[in-house]
Structure 1
């Protein structure tokens, strides 16, 4: 099956944006630099907008996006993704307004909680829309879990980069390295769970993507960088470590999504060959 690159990039980019904002929201409670929260919220907003643009590129015609918008209540995979994109955009924008125009700590914390919930949901449901009975290699909840995990790892390392550039070493109450390691572990568990569902034989048929992208870079590389972040090496150059972690997590995230398509049994571009409303369950 041909890899649908716009959807691969959409799910990882938008999911990373949602996960990044989850860490921004978490910092409202654990503590950290206000500059990092502000920049993180802006980056999150930009990532979900860019992700939405990638999603539109997959449609045979951009006008089909209108069909998705007008059929949100169909609760299809596409409509849920759109609702979550909209919810994240609104919460992120509101958070920025409160941070810039208001001194209400309570309002910022309420929006932070909403951002954590919607941000993590976005990463999960970007993968959940593919869970269908007709495709045996997709019909598993380990797939959206892998999507969420890889997005979470990217968000954690990106938050680490922002902390290294704009922060003062107090991000997440000084526990940003622990958060990055936890996110990396979630990503690794998610990828391994999905690999076990599909089977090592099927995955190994795509040797470069599986062994190179998922195993060596996505799993081993991400874990090594996350563990190094817990040592004195992080004090030497946190920016370099976080950047390496983001690169490894991103490669792993792209690779596991690519394998989802490569290990599938067939594909019909429903947007090109059928009425869009059929795809949208309306």
Structure 2
């Protein structure tokens, strides 16, 4: 299947926004990171808006999108509901941060963390289609959640370095760095494991196809028959370099190494977080490119 760049950007920025908001919620639950809460919230809102705008470039007829909203079972309706709920939670988050005490209650932090996870799952679920076996797996949810769990903490680490305040004590800074450091390691590990498991699942989806031999497609009379088994072979096939180098090596291994090294005392956390974040973004984009390259359809059986 050809690359759908508006949807690649949409899913990337949605996961990124959810990751930043979720990392901010984790800091609130830990009772630290008050200084970076507002910058993280603003960043999450901006990423959410950018992702929302990107998806419209996938639509040839923008006016017809409202027809889909009438069906509560459609993926686009469910995504809209999740985005609206997340926006409401963000508004509440902003209200509490603007109060003199500037703290977020635990119940709201839990709501923020839950809706961040729900948004990524709902967004991923929209791509589960029986007609495309490589897509029809809940493991895709985990792969995108891994992206969010990695992108979020790394982004907040950088925001913390860029938004230093004289009012923050050394103990607060150490506490915030500790929570974000552990979060980044956990996110990097989850991203690596989930990406690898998802890749194996895509490879296994080749068993869903049946050999049909040759056929003539009247809509593409000059093109050879597609090979869905080869398309799903992302571990050793044409997309293998993109998967092993782009997704695993660059997008998983490098951020994990940066997160582990960043936990060392006197390590240049800002530099490592920047390298890790850039590589995480590259890996997330590559994962989505592999996702589309493996999305062969079984339309000839219907």
1:151 deviation in Å? 1.8
Bigger shift: residues 43-52 or 125-134: 125-134
CA root-mean-square deviation: 2.2
Q: Which of 214, 220, 236 lines up with 2:253 in the alignment?
A: 220
Map 1:197-276; keep pairs closer than 5 Å.
197-199=201-203, 202-203=233-234, 204=236, 205-232=238-265, 235-266=266-297
Q: Does 1:85 align with 2:116?
A: no
1:231 deviation in Å? 1.7
Bigger shift: residues 169-178 or 144-153: 169-178
5+ long unaligned stretches in structure 1: 269-282
Query: 2-side partners of 1:267 and 1:6: how far apart?
Result: 24
Q: Does 1:10 align with 2:41?
A: no
Contact kept in structure 1, 2:11 and 2:51, CA below 8 Å: yes
1:22 deviation in Å? 0.9
**Secondary structure of 1:74's partner?**
coil
Greater relative contact order structure (CA < 8 Å, 6+ sep): 1
Q: Tell me which residue corresponds to 1:275.
A: none
**Count of matched residue positions in the alignment of Structure 1 and Structure 2:** 263
1:104 deviation in Å? 7.8
Q: Which of 183, 192, 201 lines up with 2:187 in the alignment?
A: 183
Query: 1-side partners of 2:298 and 2:292: how far apart?
Result: 9
TM-score, normalised to structure 2's length?
0.81
1:173 deviation in Å? 6.9
Query: 1-side partners of 2:252 and 2:102: how far apart?
Result: 41
**Secondary structure of 1:199's partner?**
helix
Bigger shift: residues 10-19 or 195-204: 195-204
Q: In the superposition, relative to structure 1, how do residues 216 and 121 fare at CA in structure 2: closer, same or farther (>3 Å)?
A: same
Q: Tell me which residue corresponds to 2:19.
A: 19
- Which one has the largest radius of gyration? 2
1:102 deviation in Å? 6.0
Bigger shift: residues 57-66 or 114-123: 57-66
Query: 1-side partners of 2:105 and 2:201: how far apart?
Result: 41
Bigger shift: residues 10-19 or 211-220: 211-220
Q: Tell me which residue corresponds to 2:133.
A: 136
Query: 1-side partners of 2:242 and 2:188: how far apart?
Result: 19
Query: 1-side partners of 2:253 and 2:102: how far apart?
Result: 43
Query: 2-side partners of 1:76 and 1:225: how far apart?
Result: 40
Query: 1-side partners of 2:298 and 2:153: how far apart?
Result: 33
Query: 2-side partners of 1:99 and 1:19: how far apart?
Result: 19
5+ long unaligned stretches in structure 2: 205-229
Q: Which of 123, 129, 148 lines up with 1:151 in the alignment?
A: 148
1:46 deviation in Å? 1.0
Higher helix share: 1
1:35 deviation in Å? 2.3
